[in-house]
Amino acid sequence: MRIKKIIHKVLQSAGYEIVYYRPAHHPLARTKWLLDLYDVSVVLDVGANTGQFSERLREAGYQQQIISFEPLPDAFAVIKEKAINDRWGWEVNNFALGSREERTMIHIAGNSYSSSILPMLSTHEQSRPESRYVGEVEIKVKTLDSVFLSRWRSGQRVFLKIDTQGFEKQVLDGAAESLPFIDTIQIEMSMTPLYEGGLLFEEMYSFVKSLGYRLVAIEPGFFDTETGEMFQVDGIFHRFA
């Protein structure tokens, strides 16, 4: 213990600070730790569904601004009610984000959160029968660039979370002017094809890296309950100065 204190003191005198990461049981413990580490003051929750991600962030202790985007009418109605009672600022928007402004159809999944603008592939359906499409609805799509600067304030550190079921690259394509102001991205990455036209892990990793970000963490996601094969993970990328 004495040696640790000496090392800590020497590093502090040189201008460094040791930060200890203690894993917790909360599913977003690592994400919350990274939000603190990077001094994030606003989270963009793209593909918010009924607000599950944002609710867990609040449970983990995040007390800064959240801006959510959810195009499904039923899911939006739920998240809107949740946001009303939020103490720290939770804005909700009833439209999707993509590469261009348009109106299009979104497929509604039986479990809601697997809904996507893209067609679902058989691997997904067979592994999670409850996720099969049960209908569709017309939605509005905007670009992040069209809404970002009106909501961003100088000095804010921004965390962009994208969970759009294979539509992630389109979201980033519509954010070219916004990305220089976004420090950290958490994005869903598929290990196997699940949605028609969706990028696979290697392609998404290379694409996000080409935007100037470095992968700093991977969180497990969707997997096959019979074989244990991992189908999706969340990659967290950060842009270092």
Backbone angles phi, psi at 202, to 5 degrees: -60, -40
Confidence (pTM): 0.87
CA 2 from centroid of its chain's CA atoms:
41
β 158-162/90-93 pair status: unpaired
Q: What is the pLDDT of residues 183-203, one digit of tens each?
A: 999 999 999 999 999 999 999
User: Which strand (E) or helix (H) includes residue 186?
Assistant: strand 182-190
Q: Is the model's pLDDT at 16 over the cut of 70?
A: no
pLDDT of residue 228: 82
> What does the DSSP 8-state code read for residue 200?
B
- Give the whole-angstrom CA distance, residue 209 versus residue 239: 9
- Give the whole-angstrom CA distance, residue 52 versus residue 79: 9
pLDDT of residue 156: 93
Band of the pLDDT at 224, cuts 50, 70, 90? confident
For the chain, domain boundaries? 23-238
pLDDT of residue 7: 61
pLDDT of residue 30: 87
**Residue 237 β-bridge partners:** 185, 215
Token match 């009672």: residue? 85
CATH of domain 23-238: 3.40.50.150
- Give the whole-angstrom CA distance, residue 55 versus residue 184: 19
Q: Is the model's pLDDT at 174 over the cut of 60?
A: yes
Q: What is the pLDDT of residues 64-100, one digit of tens each?
A: 999 999 999 999 999 999 999 999 999 999 999 999 9
Of residues 224 and 135, more confidence is placed in 135
The first and second tokens of residue 52, run together, are 């599950």
Q: What is the pLDDT of residues 43-64, one digit of tens each?
A: 999 999 999 999 999 999 999 9
Token match 């950290």: residue? 184
pLDDT of residue 12: 63
pLDDT of residue 82: 96
- Give the whole-angstrom CA distance, residue 55 versus residue 61: 10
Count helices and strands in the chain by DSSP H and E runs: 8, 10
**Residue 137 β-bridge partners:** 106
Mean pLDDT taken over the chain:
91
Q: What is the pLDDT of residues 98-118, one digit of tens each?
A: 999 999 999 999 999 999 999
Could you give the percent of the chain with pLDDT greater than 90? 78
